[in-house]
Amino acid sequence: MFEKTGGKGRIPARDLVALLRCLGWNPSEQDLEEARQEMDLAAKGYISFSDVEMYIARRGGIYHGANAEEDILVAFQVLDKHGTGKITISDFRHFLTTMGERMSAEEAEELISCSRKNGKDYIECRGSS
């Protein structure tokens, strides 16, 4: 986003929402107003790269508000067809290589080898119902 401005290291203030969404955030109107005030966008009319870096750092980084463990557990619950708290290795491999941001077969096997316990043909999902 910052490169499109001729290398000045800034973007128009109107692009704040798009910028935050590119970072994976879904800001509320209140979040946006706080960001506008904090970065003094009304006065400047632009967002500098350093403004964004400082803003994100004050909010705990790019994954502010995200709960990675919870997100992973929810994903596993969706994949757990029978609600047993287990996903078969073959199903897991299929999901890893065909859905979303697809992994190569080698990447999938590496993740499976880290996730598999005691040679079982399934992966247990902590927190599944």
pLDDT at 11: 87
Is residue 96 within 8 Å of 103, Cβ to Cβ? yes
For residue range 24-70, what is the model confidence (pLDDT) as tens digits?
A: 777 888 888 998 998 888 888 888 888 888 888 887 765 555 556 67
| CATH-assigned architecture of domain 2-58 | Orthogonal Bundle (1.10)
| Residue 101: C-alpha distances to residues 18, 104, 108 (Å) | 21, 10, 12
Per-residue pLDDT at 4 exceeds 50: yes
Strand-pair partners of 29: none
Per-residue pLDDT at 129 exceeds 50: no
| CATH-assigned architecture of domain 68-124 | Orthogonal Bundle (1.10)
For residue range 61-93, what is the model confidence (pLDDT) as tens digits?
A: 655 555 566 767 777 888 888 888 888 899 989
Assign 128 a pLDDT band (cuts: 50, 70, 90).
very low
**CATH 1.10.238.10 boundaries in the chain:** 2-58, 68-124
pLDDT at 97: 92
